[in-house]
Structure 1
Amino acid sequence: MRINENTLLEGNQVVLVPYNADHVPRYHEWMKSHELQQLTASEPLTLQQEYDMQRSWREDEDKCTFIILDKQRWADSSVQEEQCMVGDVNIFLTDPSDPSLAELEIMIAEPSYRGRGIGKEVTCMMMSYAVTKLGIQKFEAKIGLDNQVSIAMFKKLHFHKLSMCKVFKEVTLGLTVDDSVRTKLLADTAYMKERDYRQTCSNRQELTSP
């Protein structure tokens, strides 16, 4: 989606930025990992295919993605942005007849960043953005049955099991955003700041200021 092409979301531990061409080589290296291919149920792509995929994420109206950056590292302007990459978070509008339904995916690609609460923060930030900016009212997450860490995280966020597919070895979890869920979600992410991405890039130290 182009709606977020100049949007930066600042959290406590992370910064979410639009997926642009500069991020592709690092992303491509990540996806050579057999473990990540299994966790994301994806096939390895050539570098050119990865660039094509990045353009589709930017332009297609049924997809929205952010790259996850380490906030502390990114605030240091001497560190290249791609060296701050941690993973990505995406939503897909899977039902053309219901634009309020979105499938949510998150990948913490760097192993050293797992188990630190980053996945939960990023998921809540993305959900808050999707609810307030995209009008999403229902979320689904398809997770491999072997990925018990992700399943547990989504359940802590009050997602419940919708279905299980033994053929693809995955479970589908869902959450409907009623008034109480929306109120709690927005309260839990009240610290999140939305900034102009290009402007903030020119002065990263801004993120360390109150």
Structure 2
Amino acid sequence: MVRPVGRIQGQRVVLVPYEKEHVPCYHKWMQDPKLLEDTFSESLSLEEQYELQESWNSDPHKCMFIILEKERMEVPEEELSNVEAMAGDVNIFMNDMEDEKAAEIDIMIAEPRSRGKGLAKEAVQLMIKYAAQHLQISKLRAKISDSNSTSLHLFRSLGFQDVGHSDVFQQATLELVLESQ
């Protein structure tokens, strides 16, 4: 896998690589206990968040994009400077040792004013296409908390099928087999 480069343009969102200028806003989001619970994350210091951002960009098995909401972008041509338009993130992890063509995907619309606008659906659709065309991924897996009905509905509406459940973690596993591109 290669580090994400450039941007991915949608109708309502622009996906850009996760860069240092995004970290302060991302760190602020990740102080929300509900987001931490929904994303199975831990609260980190700002310094730890910068280290995590660097690790994302250097790990060949991870691909992270920040979701920018076009409606809130002041200067669309300068998307990386549009930190105020940040809505969330969408990620792919290649963490299946038995299948190098499989990856885990997740989405987070962290900015409250960006929720309920269809941005997550568009961002996941763009990432599915990116995964198939640029990363040669043939299967995507999403692990979602039972309490996160919004994400469960989103992934199921995009064709992901329930393939497992962890009672211990109270988490569903859904998969989507991608068509050959």
Q: Same fold (TM over 0.5)?
A: yes
| 1:128-151 CA-partner distances (Å, limit 9, x unpaired) | 001000000001000000001110
Mapping of residues 1-210 of structure 1, within 5 Å: 2-4=2-4, 6-76=5-75, 80-179=81-180
* Percent identical: 42
Q: TM-score, normalised by structure 1?
A: 0.81
Q: Secondary structure at the match of 2:49?
A: helix
Q: TM-score, normalised by structure 2?
A: 0.93
Cα distance in 1 between the residues matched to 2:29 and 2:57: 20
CA RMSD of aligned residues (A): 1.7
Q: Decide whether the 8 Å contact of 2:69 with 2:119 is kept in 1.
A: no
Please identify the structure whose Cα radius of gyration is greater. Answer: 1
Amino acid in the other structure paired with 1:39: D
Q: Decide whether the 8 Å contact of 1:15 with 1:68 is kept in 2.
A: yes
Q: Secondary structure at the match of 1:167?
A: coil
Offset of 1:72 from its aligned partner?
2.9
Q: Decide whether the 8 Å contact of 1:2 with 1:58 is kept in 2.
A: no
Amino acid in the other structure paired with 2:145: G
Q: Secondary structure at the match of 1:7?
A: coil
Is the deviation greater in 96-105 or in 68-77? 68-77
Cα distance in 2 between the residues matched to 1:8 and 1:156: 25
- Give the aligned partner of residue 199 of structure 1: none
Offset of 1:70 from its aligned partner?
1.2
Cα distance in 1 between the residues matched to 2:51 and 2:98: 27
Where in structure 1 are there 5+ consecutive unaligned residues?
183-210
Q: Decide whether the 8 Å contact of 2:65 with 2:91 is kept in 1.
A: yes
User: Bigger relative contact order, structure 1 or 2, given CA contacts below 8 A and separation 6+?
Assistant: 1
Moved over 6 A (4+): none
